[in-house]
Amino acid sequence: MLLRLAVGLSLGVLQPISAQTAPYPSAPPALAIRNLREPATRYRLVPDGRRVHDTTSWTVTRRVLDRSRGLALQVMTSMSHGDTVVDSVLFNARTLIPVWEHAHGRQSWNVAFGTTRITGHVSNYGSADQPIDAGIPGFAYSSTMDNTVVCALPLRPGYQAVLPFWDGDHLETDTVRVRALGSGSERVWVVDFVEPYATETLWIDRSSPKVLRHVYVYARDGSRAHVEMSR
List pLDDT tens digits, range 135-169: 998 999 999 999 999 999 999 989 999 999 999 88
What does the radius of gyration of the chain's CA atoms come to, in whole angstroms? 17
Whether 120 has a pLDDT exceeding 90, the answer reads yes
**How many domains, in total, are found in the chain?**
1
Task: Give this prediction's pTM.
Answer: 0.86
Q: Are the C-beta atoms of residues 101 and 142 closer than 8 Å to each other?
A: yes
pLDDT for res 28: 87
Contact residues for 47 (Cβ-Cβ < 8 A; gap 6+): 54, 223, 224, 225
CB within 8 A of 45, min separation 6: which ones?
A: 3, 6, 7, 10, 54, 56, 57, 216, 225, 226, 227
- pLDDT at residue 112, as a whole number: 97
Domain of 126?
Answer: 4-230
Over 90: is that where the pLDDT of 187 sits?
A: no
Residue type, 94: R
**Whether residue 85 has pLDDT greater than 60:** yes
Confidence of residue 127 (pLDDT cuts 50, 70, 90): confident
Q: What is the pLDDT of residues 18-33, one digit of tens each?
A: 444 446 677 888 898 7
Q: Which bin fits 197, alpha (ψ -120 to 50), beta or left (φ > 0)? A: alpha
Residue 43: which H helix or E strand, with range? strand 38-47
